[in-house]
Amino acid sequence: MLDLDALKAFVAACEEGSVSRAAQRLFRSQPATTRQILSLEKALGAVLLDRSSRGVKPSAAGEAVLHKAQKLLRDVENLTGSARDPVGESGDLRIASSDTVAQYWLAPILGRFARSAPQARLHLDISSSPEIANRVASGLDDVGFVLLPLHHPSLIHRTVLCYRHVAAFAKGAAPSGVGPISASDLADSPLVLLGRQTRSRQLIEEGFLAKGLWPQRVVEVGNVSVQKELVRVGLGVGVLPDYAARPGDGLEYRPIDGASVREIALVTHRTDFHGALADRFVKMVLEPG
């Protein structure tokens, strides 16, 4: 049977990059931590750490073990926490989201949840949809929010937010009227868009290509807050989710002709044990009333 303390020592060494720092984190002596890692390597029949004068890092075998060990320790923590706290009022909850979803949609939900479970410790990991799916599938996060479509056999997804992209203009720069902006007018304008590594940008480009269009002048930015600021000072027209359009933010918004409905989904692992705290959070998101 595997020793959970040895697994904790191995995981801590990988995360800290040092056996001595792992020992300090676990409030153990360095020799004891070293012995636990060696005993784990013996039990698994593989060298799990590459050791050098600069510290340690997981070997190829260690990389294969690390995520499973992190997930196992998380499951044990959740199991213990649920026994002590069956209604989900305390413990750690790890959530993964894009920065746009986190800032413009998720933040008030997290606020309500924190008020309902003041002893809970919330961890928010900001990432892209593909990485979020991988983090939840590997057990690094309990819950994630991803942009559909998603095809991952280990995950269950439930749509929680539908939106369309809208065009954002600096004050006074929007075309007259309130009608939609055509894709061809957008393609002829200087645009301020998120980077090509984002799923949102990929969908925007797919929409242009479907109409035989390709924008020639694009300023790329890292997040929607910067995107808004660059639009505000006149660098171009922004294309962003309608849920990020806020009254009084100094921008003018117009719908985009033919803009498709996009979906943000809550994802959890299909079979893994989540714990009462995660279950409570999921229920709050899915049943906001």
Residue 102: the pLDDT is: 96
Q: How many residues does the structure list for the chain? A: 289
The 10s digit of each residue's pLDDT in 171-196 is 999 988 778 999 999 999 999 999 98
Fold of 86-160+264-286: D-Maltodextrin-Binding Protein; domain 2 (3.40.190)
What is the reported pTM?
Answer: 0.72
Mind listing the pLDDT tens digit for each residue in 117-155? 998 999 999 998 989 998 888 788 999 999 998 888 889
CA angle 54, 57, 62 (to 5 degrees): 160
**Confidence bin at 230 (pLDDT 50/70/90):** very high
Asked whether the domain spanning 86-160+264-286 has the same topology as the one spanning 4-81, the reply is no
Say how far apart CA 56 and CA 16 lie, in whole Å: 9
263-277 pLDDT tens trace: 999 999 887 656 788
Residue 156 pLDDT exceeds 60: yes
Indicate whether 87 pLDDT > 60.
no
271-283: string of b/e by CB count within 10 Å (b at 16+)?
A: ebebbbbbbbbbe
How do the domains of the chain map onto residue ranges?
A: 4-81, 86-160+264-286, 165-260
Considering the domain 165-260, what is its CATH architecture?
3-Layer(aba) Sandwich (3.40)
What pLDDT score does 137 carry? Answer: 85
CATH architecture for the domain at 4-81: Orthogonal Bundle (1.10)
Q: If you average pLDDT over residues 1-17, what whole number do you get? A: 86
Bridge partner list, 121: 92
Helix (H, G, I), strand (E, B), or coil: what is residue 202?
A: helix
CA 237 and chain centroid, separation: 27
CB 75 within 8 A of CB 42: no
pLDDT computed for residue 1 by the predictor: 66
